[in-house]
Amino acid sequence: MLPSNTHDQGWVSVRFLLGLMAVLLVMTTFALIALVSLIMGLPITTPVNRALDALFAVNSVQTSWHITRAAGLTAYMLLWLSTAWGLAVSSKIFEPVLQGTFTYDFHEFLSLLSIGFVVLHVVVLLVDQYLPFSVAAILVPFIAPYRPLWVGIGVIGFYLALLVTVTFYLRARIGMKAFRVLHLASFVSFVFAAVHGLMAGTDSPLAATQLMYAGTTLVIVFLTAYWIMLLFLNKRPHGLVRGTQHTL
């Protein structure tokens, strides 16, 4: 059943607020990066620079490395959660507990948030003092100076995640069939992100990081198998969630 007009208005307002929050987060991230880049370019004798360097070590070659590592791992976890959440929404796992509109909006917000942290992850590489990346190395797959194959796979994964996120706002124009087909790219995006992180990430040798990749992958495999089983048994009505128009 499609929602009423009143419900639609509330649904649109919630989606608008979540999208606005994500945009503000990305803008704030860029502003912080610009500020840090400016400070790092100032002489060490500048009082503000000395104070911030004492607090945050902004002039250390380790600073940008820590930031990009943290942002990359956070982006991966958000992408995983978005993918897992989308599978759960499509399988109606949340239906007895949470309203379909909320679960759909939260899924969209997670996608936007993951894009924001990916942007932070790659932009910091531009100002990295140890191994700076060029704009071309970040945007063009397989030409990066560091592990080009695995970094290139990560770039492609980001483009696919961006494509899937954009389709949230193009459903009315491209149609639900095309939306559902394009949304399948989220599976490839997650796999590419996992491979990129595991093969290119400097934290990959750590047991905790390997457990994270193994655990998140197993969750996606389980939810995907469950979703395919429901499709095979024809127990869900074309992937539609009550009150929404979403499917994975």
Distance CA 176, CA 27 (A): 31
More confident residue, 28 or 147: 147
pLDDT at residue 75, rounded to an integer: 93
- Answer yes or no: is 238 within a domain: no
- Answer yes or no: is 239 within a domain: no
As for how many domains the chain has, the answer is: 1
- Answer yes or no: is 247 within a domain: no
Distance CA 138, CA 41 (A): 22
- Answer yes or no: is 240 within a domain: no
State the angle between helix axes of 148-167 and 185-200 in degrees (0 to 180), rounded to the nearest 10: 150
pLDDT at residue 108, rounded to an integer: 84
Distance CA 88, CA 93 (A): 5
What is the identity of the amino acid at 74? Answer: T
Predicted TM-score (pTM) above 0.95: no
Q: Which two tokens stand for residue 17?
A: 């607020």
- Answer yes or no: is 40 within a domain: yes
36 — pLDDT class (breaks 50, 70, 90): low
Q: Give which of 111, 154, 105 is closest to 25, Cα–Cα.
A: 111
**Average pLDDT over every residue of 193-216:** 92
- Answer yes or no: is 168 within a domain: yes
Per-residue pLDDT for 73 more than 80?
yes
- Answer yes or no: is 241 within a domain: no
82 — pLDDT class (breaks 50, 70, 90): very high
- Answer yes or no: is 207 within a domain: yes
Per-residue model confidence as pLDDT tens digits over 116-127 = 899 889 888 887
Domain that holds residue 68: 5-233
